[in-house]
Amino acid sequence: MSETIHELISEADVAAKIAELGAQISKDYDGEEIYMLCILKGGVFFMTELAKHITVPVSLDFMSVSSYGSQTRSSGNVRIIKDLDTPIEGKHVLVVEDIIDTGRTLAYLLDNLQQRNPKSLKLCTLLDKPEERVTEVDVDYVGFQIPDKFVVGYGLDYDQHYRNLPYIGIVEFDEE
């Protein structure tokens, strides 16, 4: 089986949306410091670009959480592979995610983080697939709502490939 990638969201549209999100986040956190928490690996591209557009002080940290493996659908089994480097108690935490589909992983993660007593806890995602949601999560900042298609690019992968595409593309699998 091979795959073909079709552009869904252009590089220019992704860049414009990230700048817009950065401006809104900066306004909402005016006078505060944000502890930006990136969910690895896919969120790295998004968070680094987003941070460039935020005008309030930020600190960065990373977590690695897995529910996919090499599959195209979430398994529902969430594992924390890499935890935070510093405590988040009393901090304004902004979780930065590449995509939210079923919501299972984020619901688990947000519950876990809430138990660590942050001052506030918000969620920002580049892509949202509301049709896929099986567990509700409150998303504070959404870049794009997308259809229920498997997407790659801008940090999102298929079996560790295509993360480096500068746009968001839909993967179509070809039978051979």
Q: What is the pLDDT of residues 93-124, one digit of tens each?
A: 999 999 998 888 889 899 999 999 999 999 99
Instruction: Kindly tell me if the per-residue pLDDT of 65 is higher than 70.
Output: yes
- Let me know if 138 is a catalytic residue: no
Average pLDDT, the chain: 91
| CA 101-107-111 angle, 5° bins | 160
pLDDT (0 to 100) of residue 78: 77
- Spell out the long-range contacts of 163-166 with Cβ–Cβ below 8 A and sequence spacing 24 or more: 163/41, 163/42, 163/45, 165/5, 166/11, 166/14
pLDDT (0 to 100) of residue 160: 86
Instruction: Kindly tell me if the per-residue pLDDT of 24 is higher than 90.
Output: yes
Catalytic residue among 98, 101, 128, 157: 101
* 3 state DSSP class of 159: coil
Classify 163 in phi/psi space as left (phi over 0), alpha (psi -120 to 50) or beta: alpha
pLDDT (0 to 100) of residue 3: 86
Nearest to 141 by CA among 132, 157, 128: 128
